[in-house]
């Protein structure tokens, strides 16, 4: 609720201005400015382009149409048929005063020599990656996301689409001369992101088709740390941001960069601590519950799993095993490996684009055995973002080397030259053997463990489920957030994917099928060549 109210008060004034601006543009007749070569009528102010990693436009990816009209009475019947009465009166008055106009239309118009059709880029055509791209304010400047982070560059590399009407020495439009249209091409300069437009669309489609109202997903390229897709639902419409202000599901919140209780997707981190501290052979008999520090914790399987070892405990998501393992390891070992895997920290992806750091409890907060027990199976005070969970998964899949996720490939000049941004470097946080052991267990999660609904006939997937307690209830029933994090293909990892469904119940039920669908569609798309960036 606080996030929604903050968004409302922050954006209300901006979007009121946007609505006013849009109402003027819908049927606008733009007044002409006098220039040395004639009268220039602005069609649209364009901004530099935001590209994906293959230089496909993520903005300026739609098209709008208009007509430039000479000040002749012969055009009046045509315009009267096209425009509502109020807009027509304005246009007719300008034409009668000898001023040319530009009018927005839905389709090409036949109007003889008095009319020229033009098409120009629309900023948000597909509306893809809205939370990453951001949106504009009433003045046409970036108000959020990459639009805000690179506002100066995108303004500088933009331009003006305009219609020029030749005039005589007295400034009167020459009706026999052609109308010149300029500046309607997509601006070449701008910003290049790591997003892959086709993969982004796949992930957006899968989440939209799921029917869950509040979800998030991240896809990372293993080996580079490049964010190939980042999706949050619900999304806002960047062409009409005011429409989302009263949405109770907070569409302006990027859930992929927001922190949530994580549950069992944290268990691979505890497994990593065990392997790095010589406890990989730890064995525990699960009876269905365990009491630590006077607090009783339960396993998903009420009657218990029986004797568990590290691999089987991960495969079947045994809570009591990891609680007992955490007590064996101690708070320092568990917390240190979690920090090395990126929990509790965040790095900016661009100026002002900073994912949440989440919360990794300090050592002092883990003094009680019960607090450490909670952490050991991903509960208690621990929170993390889908991006952080996906980064952990990528670290395991790439053999224990951690690469900070990154979003910006570089900036593109108007001549097409791309200046690369600084890329993150790899840092080893686990031994290759430890990572391989955990990955084998994550594969078993899917083949015969808690994540069987992620099993695919076309691509091998490894991963981990989670059903995270939120501490909130509805009608006396606790609300759970659902997770699945995994990678594919399991034998030669290319992508790590994490899906979160708020109020989604069991991750094995709600999220595992979504990851399977994403993996299958991306695998079908892949031609074998890695994208640039």
Q: Following DSSP, what letter does each residue of 166-222 receive, concatenated? A: -B-TTS-B-TTSPEEEES-SPPS-EEEES--HHHHHHHHHHHHHH--SSEEEEEEET
Where residue 531 falls among pLDDT bands split at 50, 70, 90?
A: low
Q: In angstroms, rounded to a whole number, what is the distance separating the alpha carbons of residues 369 and 264? A: 19
Q: What angle do CA 204, 456, 431 make, to 5 degrees?
A: 90
**What pLDDT was estimated at residue 140?**
95
- 0.75 exceeded by pTM: yes
Q: Is 211 helix (H, G, I), strand (E, B) or coil?
A: coil
pLDDT for 18 beyond 90:
no
Cα angle, residue 215 at apex, residues 213 and 217 outer, rounded to 5°: 150
Q: In 157-282, which ranges are continuous DSSP H helix? A: 197-210, 267-276
pLDDT of residue 528: 61
Distance, in Å, from the CA atom of 430 to the CA atom of 40, rounded to the nearest integer, reads 64
- Judged by DSSP in three states, 221 sits in strand
Give yes or no for residue 444 having a pLDDT over 50: yes
Does the structure show a pLDDT above 90 at 473? no
pLDDT tens per residue across span 79-118: 999 999 999 999 999 999 999 999 999 999 998 899 999 9
Query: Which has the minimum average pLDDT: 270-279, 474-483, 509-518?
Result: 474-483
Rounded CA separation 393/222 (Å): 9
pLDDT of residue 21: 44
* Helices and strands (DSSP H and E) totals, the chain: 16, 22
Task: Give the whole-angstrom CA distance, residue 144 versus residue 149.
Answer: 7
pLDDT tens for residues 303-341?
999 999 999 999 999 999 999 999 999 999 999 999 999
Backbone angles phi, psi at 369, to 5 degrees: -55, -35
- Please identify which residue in the block is written with the tokens 């034998």: 491
Using 50, 70 and 90 to split pLDDT, how confident is the model at 26? very low
Is 27 a residue whose pLDDT tops 70?
A: no
Average pLDDT of the residues of the chain: 92
% of the chain with per-residue pLDDT over 70: 92
Rounded mean pLDDT of 459-464?
98
What's the pLDDT at 33?
A: 55
Give how far Cα 348 sits from Cα of 17, 149, 217, 341, 342, Å.
30, 11, 19, 17, 13
| CA angle, 415 then 421 then 422, to 5° | 155
User: Which stretch of 9-13, 244-248, 403-407 has the lowest confidence by average pLDDT?
Assistant: 9-13
Per-residue tokens: 4: 């929604």
- Asked if residue 72 has pLDDT above 80, the reply is yes
How much is the average pLDDT of 431-452?
97
Q: State the Cα–Cα distance between residues 372 and 331, nearest whole angstrom.
A: 6
If residue 284 lies in a helix (H) or strand (E), which one and from where to where?
Answer: strand 284-286
In this predicted structure, the answer to whether residue 20 has a pLDDT above a threshold of 50 is: no
Distance, first Cα to last Cα, the chain: 38
Length of the chain: 533
Rounded CA-CA distance 218/229 in Å is: 6
Residue 23 structure tokens? 């109402």
* Residues whose CB is less than 8 angstroms from the CB of residue 410 and which lie 6 or more positions away in sequence, other chains included: 191, 192, 418, 419, 420, 421, 533
| Cβ proximity of 161 and 44 under 8 Å | yes
Residue 462 reports pLDDT greater than 50: yes
pLDDT of residue 477: 87
Q: Are 36 and 44 in contact (CB under 8 A)?
A: no
Predicted confidence at residue 533, as pLDDT, reads 60
Pick the CATH number of 2-192 from 1.10.1660, 3.90.1310, 2.60.40, 1.25.40: 3.90.1310
Q: What average pLDDT does the segment 270-294 reach?
A: 97
Domain boundaries, the chain: 2-192, 197-525
* CA–CA gap between residue 505 and residue 115 (Å, rounded): 59
Is pLDDT at 532 greater than 70 in this prediction? no
- For 303, how many CA atoms within 13 A lie in the half-sphere containing its CB? 0
Domain spanning 197-525, CATH architecture:
3-Layer(aba) Sandwich (3.40)
- Longest CA–CA span in the chain (Å) reads 96
Residue 32: the pLDDT is 54
Percent of the chain topping pLDDT 90: 88
> What confidence tens digit (pLDDT) does each residue in 194-220 have?
999 999 999 999 999 999 999 999 999
- The torsion angle over the Cα atoms of residues 169, 171, 174 and 178, rounded to 10 degrees, is 110
450: CB partners within 8 A, 6+ apart: 300, 315, 316, 317, 465, 508
User: Tell me, what's the pLDDT at 471?
Assistant: 86
CA-based radius of gyration for the chain: 28
Locate 399 and state its tokens.
Answer: 């053999």
Q: Is residue 487's pLDDT more than 70?
A: yes
Q: From CA 331, how far away is CA 376, in angstroms rounded?
A: 9
Tell me how far apart the alpha carbons of residues 54 and 529 are, in angstroms, rounded to a whole number.
12
Asked if 378 and 317 touch (Cβ cutoff 8 Å), the reply is: no
> Which pLDDT value is given to residue 335?
98
Q: How many CB atoms lie within 10 A of CB 445?
A: 29
Six token digits for residue 248: 């109770």
Quick: pLDDT tens for 29-53: 445 555 556 899 999 999 999 999 9
Residue 519: partners with Cβ closer than 8 Å, 6 or more residues away: 454, 456, 459, 461, 486, 488, 495, 497
Tokens of 57: 């436009």
Distance CA 62, CA 64 (A): 7
Residue 283 reports pLDDT greater than 80: yes
């Amino acid at each position: 609720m606080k996030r929604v109210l903050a968004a409302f008060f922050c954006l209300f004034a901006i979007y009121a201005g946007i609505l006013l601006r849009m109402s003027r543009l819908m049927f606008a007749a733009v007044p002409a400015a006098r220039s040395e070569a004639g009268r220039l009528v602005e069609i649209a102010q364009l901004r530099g382009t935001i590209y994906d990693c293959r230089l496909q436009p993520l903005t300026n990816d739609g098209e709008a149409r208009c007509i430039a009209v000479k000040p002749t009475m012969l055009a009046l019947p045509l315009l009267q048929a096209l425009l509502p009465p109020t807009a027509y009166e304005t246009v007719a008055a300008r034409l009668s005063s000898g001023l040319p106009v530009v009018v927005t239309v839905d389709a090409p118009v036949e109007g003889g020599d008095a009319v020229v059709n033009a098409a120009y880029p629309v900023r948000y055509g597909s509306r893809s990656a809205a939370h990453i791209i951001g949106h504009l304010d009433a003045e046409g400047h970036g108000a959020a996301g990459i639009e805000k982070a690179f506002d100066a560059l995108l303004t500088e590399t933009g331009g003006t689409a305009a219609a020029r009407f030749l005039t005589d020495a007295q400034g009167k439009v020459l009706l026999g001369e052609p109308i010149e249209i300029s500046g309607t091409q997509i601006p070449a300069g701008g910003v290049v992101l790591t997003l892959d437009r086709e993969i982004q669309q796949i992930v957006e489609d899968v989440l939209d088709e799921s029917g869950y109202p509040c979800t998030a997903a991240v896809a990372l390229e293993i080996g580079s740390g490049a964010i190939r897709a980042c999706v949050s639902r619900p999304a806002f419409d960047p062409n009409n941001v005011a429409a989302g202000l009263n949405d109770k599901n907070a569409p302006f919140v990027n859930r992929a960069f927001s922190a949530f209780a994580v549950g069992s997707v944290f268990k691979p981190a505890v497994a990593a601590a065990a392997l790095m501290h010589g406890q990989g052979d730890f064995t525990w008999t699960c009876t269905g519950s365990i009491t630590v520090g006077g607090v009783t914790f339960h396993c998903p399987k009420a009657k218990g799993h029986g004797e568990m070892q590290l691999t089987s405990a991960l495969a079947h998501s045994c809570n009591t095993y990891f609680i007992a393992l955490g007590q064996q390891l101690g708070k320092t070992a568990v917390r240190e490996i979690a920090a090395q895997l990126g929990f509790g920290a965040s790095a900016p992806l661009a100026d002002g684009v900073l994912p949440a750091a989440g919360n990794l409890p300090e050592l002092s907060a883990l003094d009680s055995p019960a607090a450490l027990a909670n952490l050991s199976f991903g509960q208690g005070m621990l929170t993390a973002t889908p991006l952080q969970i996906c980064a952990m998964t990528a670290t395991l899949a790439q053999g224990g080397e951690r690469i900070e996720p990154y979003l910006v490939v570089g900036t593109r000049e108007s001549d097409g030259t791309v200046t690369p941004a600084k890329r993150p470097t790899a840092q080893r946080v686990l031994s290759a053997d430890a990572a391989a052991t955990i990955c084998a267990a994550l594969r078993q999660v899917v083949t015969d463990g808690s994540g069987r609904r992620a099993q695919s006939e076309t691509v091998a997937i490894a991963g981990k489920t989670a059903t995270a307690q939120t501490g909130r209830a509805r009608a006396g029933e606790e609300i759970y957030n659902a997770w699945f994090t995994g990678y594919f293909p399991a034998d030669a990892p290319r992508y790590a994917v994490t899906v979160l469904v708020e109020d989604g119940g069991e991750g094995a039920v709600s999220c595992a099928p979504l990851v399977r669908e994403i993996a299958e569609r991306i695998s079908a798309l892949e031609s074998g060549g890695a994208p640039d960036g």
